[in-house]
Chain A
Amino acid sequence: MVFFLQCVLSGLSAGAVYGLAALGFVLIYKTTGILNLAQGALILLGGYLFSSLAAQLGLPIWLAIVASILIMGIVGYSLERFPLRPMLGQPHLSIVMVTLALYIFFGAIVTSIWGEFAVMPTPYFLPSKTMSIGGIVITSNLLWSFIIGGGITAAFVIFFQFSRVGLNMRAVAEGHQIVRSMGISVSAIIALVWAMATIIGTCGGILSSQIRGADYGLVDYGLKAIGGAILGGMDSIHGAIIGCLIVGVLETLAGGYIGYGIKEAFPYIVLVLAIVIKPYGLFGLERIERI
C-alpha cells in the first residue's frame, strides 16, 4: 500500500510536468489546429538554456529563469513568422511535418551548443527536504514542482478564460475568417499562442530539471504528453491536465509493478487505448462530419 501510494505520488508530480507540456500542446492545437510535435525539443531547449544560464554562466536563479523564459518566448513568437505563416491552410501532414522538422532543428541546436546527449549541471533552487508521512517519502522539490506547475496552469486558465487576449485566442480557435472581420489580427494571436506555448513548455523544462536533472530525456516529455492530451481530449485544457496526471500515475505504477522498461512505452500504450476506446478523449468535443 505504501509502495502504491508512493508510486501515485511520484506519478502525480511527473504528470504535473506532462501537464505543462500538454498545456502548450493543447493551446496550439485549439487555436490553430496544429499538432505541435516540436514541443519536446522546445522543452529541451528551455531546460538546457536555464541550466546553462544558471550553472555555467553563473546568473542568479531568478534572472536565469526570466532570461530563459524571455528567450524562449521570442523563439516561439518568431516561429509563427517562419515557417508557420506560409503553412496556413496547408494540409495537416505538411504542417505536422514542419513541426517535426522544427523538432529536428531544435534538437540539432541543442546538440551543437551543448553536445550530444549532454547532461547539464542542474542548479537546484527548490528546497529538497525529505518528509515522511506514514511511510510515504515525499521530497519537497516534488511537492513544490507540483504546486508551481499547478499555479502556472491555474494562472494560464484564468488568463485564457477571463482576459481580453485570452478571449481573442478562443475566438481564433473558433474560426479565422470571422476573427479577421472583427478586426483582430489572426497572425498576431497565433504568434502569441506559440510564444505562450513555448514559455509554458520552458517552465515545464525548468521544473522537470528540478526533479530529474537536465538531460536529453527532457525531449521525450513533449511526445509523451500527447498521450495525456489525447486521453483528456485534445481541445480541452482541463482535460489535458487531468489526462496527463492519469498518464503520469499509470506510467509510474506500471513502472513500479511491471518493470522499469514499460515506463517509457506506457504513455504511448495509453495513447493507443484512448484513441481506440474514446477517440475524442474524456473531455474533448466530439466532431460531427458532413460532406
Chain B
Amino acid sequence: MSLPCGTFNTRYEQVFAVLRTRTHWAMIAALFMVLAILPLILSSHILTVINIMLIVMIAVLGLNIVTGYCGQINFGQAAFMAVGAYSSGLLMNHFGLSFWLCLPAAGIMATLVGILFGMPSVRVKGLYLALVTLAAQFIIIYVIETPLQSLTGGQWALRTSAPKLWGITFNTQLKLFYLIAGITALMTFFAKNLTRTRVGRNFVAVRDNDIAAEVMGINIFRTKVLAFAICSFYAGVAGSLWAHYQRAFTTTDFSFMQSIWFVGMMIVGGMGTTLGPILGTLFITLLDQLVLRFTPAMISVLPVLTAAQISSIAMFAFALVIIVFLVWEPRGLAHRWQIFKTSYRLWPFAY
C-alpha cells in the first residue's frame, strides 16, 4: 500500500494509524460535519431511506467480519437480526427496559444464538457451514413464528415503542437519524479496529488457510465461533435498531431474501475491508432507489407492464449486479476505490 505523497513513517504509531495526515483528520471532521448538518436539509423521505440504509449497514458490517475476514459464509444474517429485533422489542414491552439496556441485550441475545449456530464449525467447514447458516435462517424464523407465538405474536406484527433518552423521545426521522448514525459510526469504528487486533489477524489466517492457521497455534474452533458471535452481535444491534425504528415489524422483514441482500451488498462493496460494507450498502440502496424512481417513467413509456413486472425489476437489477460484480470485479467497490486512490496519488505518472 502506498502512502500519500510526502508522508513518511518515522514512528511506530504512524505505521499503525488509520488517519495518517492532517488532511485525513480534516476530511473525517468534514464528514462528521456534513453528517450533522445534511439531515437538517434533507426531506424526511430521503432520511427514511438513509436511516434504513444505516441500520442495514450495521448488519452488513457484522456479516463482513464473519464472511469477509473469517471466511465463513453466513446466509442467516437476517434471522440473527430478527433475534435481536424480537428480544429488544419484547424486553421493552414486557419489562419496560429502556432502549439503552435493550440494545446491548438484543446484541447479546443474538450473540448467543449466533454461537449456537457457529458451534457446528467444530466439525465442518466451508459449504457445510454455509448450509448450517442457511438452515439457521429458516429454523430461527420458524421458532419465532410458531413455538414462541404466544410471546412474539407469530406472523402478526410486534409493536414496540420509540427509544427514549434524557427525556428526548426519538420518534421523528431526524432524531432517529442522529441516534442511528451515531451507533453506526460506533460500530464501524469497532469493526475497523477489530480487524487490526490479534483477533482480526486470527480471522484472516483462518480464512486464508485454516489448516496452516491451526498449525501456527490458532484455535480454529474458538476463532470461528468468536467470528460468529461478533457477527451476530452486530446483527442483534441492527435488529434492535430496526425494531425501535419501525416500531412495528413482522418476521417477513427478516426473510431469507433479506439475508441474500446482505451478502450481495457485502460482495458488491468488497469483502474483507471495512469500507466495503459501507460502499456496498450505499450502492445497493442507491440502485434500489433509482429503480423506484424510474418506475413511474417506465410505466408511462411501457404501459403494458404489470405491477408484478415492475416489482421484479429491482430483483433483476440486484441479481445482475451481483453476477456482474462476481464475474468482473470480485473484490468489489472497495478495491476499485483503492486502485483509484493509488493512481490519484501517483498522477500524472504511471507508477
Contacts and interface: CB of A to CB of B under 8 A. Distances in A.
Interface in A234-279: 259, 261-262, 264-265, 268-269, 271-272, 275-276, 279
Given A83-B326, A105-B319, A272-B132, A262 B127 contact: no
B157 interface: no
Interface stretch (A7-15, A16-24, A107-115, A137-145): A107-115
B323 A111 contact: no
Contacts of A179: none
Interface residues of B, number: 51
Interface stretch (B33-41, B191-199, B305-313): B305-313
A97 interface: yes
Contact of A107 (B117, B315, B322): B315
A96 B130 contact: yes
Interface stretch (A59-67, A87-95, A152-160, A186-194): A87-95
B318 interface: yes
Contact of B215 (A37, A275, A291): A291
Contacts of A86: 327
Contact of A262 (B142, B263, B306): B142
A147 interface: no
A107 B71 CA distance: 28
Contacts of B322: 97-98, 100-101, 104
B128 A104 contact: no
B146 interface: yes
A276 B142 contact: no
Contacts of A111: 308-309, 311-312, 315
A105 B124 CA distance: 30
Nearest to A117: B308
Nearest to A93: B73
Interface stretch (B20-28, B49-57, B133-141, B334-342): B133-141
B312 A275 contact: no
A172 interface: no
A86 B328 CA distance: 9
A112 B102 CA distance: 41
B128 A96 contact: no
Given A104-B260, A105-B319, A276-B123, A97 B326 contact: yes
Interface in A107-137: 107-109, 111-112, 114-116
A258 B64 CA distance: 38
Contacts of B318: 101, 104
A134 to B, nearest CB: 33
A16 B309 CA distance: 33
Nearest to B256: A223
B128 A275 contact: yes
B145 interface: yes
Nearest to A272: B135
B152 to A, nearest CB: 13
Contacts of A105: 315-316, 319-320, 323
B327 A268 contact: no
Nearest to B149: A261
Contacts of B141: 265
A226 B131 contact: yes
Contacts of A109: 312
Interface of A: 35, 37, 83, 86-87, 90, 92-94, 96-98, 100-105, 107-109, 111-112, 114-116, 223, 226-227, 230, 259, 261-262, 264-265, 268-269, 271-272, 275-276, 279, 289-291
Interface of B: 67, 71, 73, 117, 119-120, 123-124, 126-128, 130-132, 134-136, 138-139, 141-143, 145-146, 209, 211-212, 215, 257, 260, 263-264, 267, 271, 306-309, 311-313, 315-316, 318-320, 322-323, 326-327, 330
Given A101-B264, A104-B260, A114-B308, 19 more contacts: A83-B323, A90-B330, A93-B73, A97-B326, A98-B326, A100-B263, A102-B323, A104-B318, A105-B316, A107-B312, A111-B311, A226-B134, A227-B135, A264-B142, A272-B136, A275-B132, A276-B120, A289-B211, A290-B211
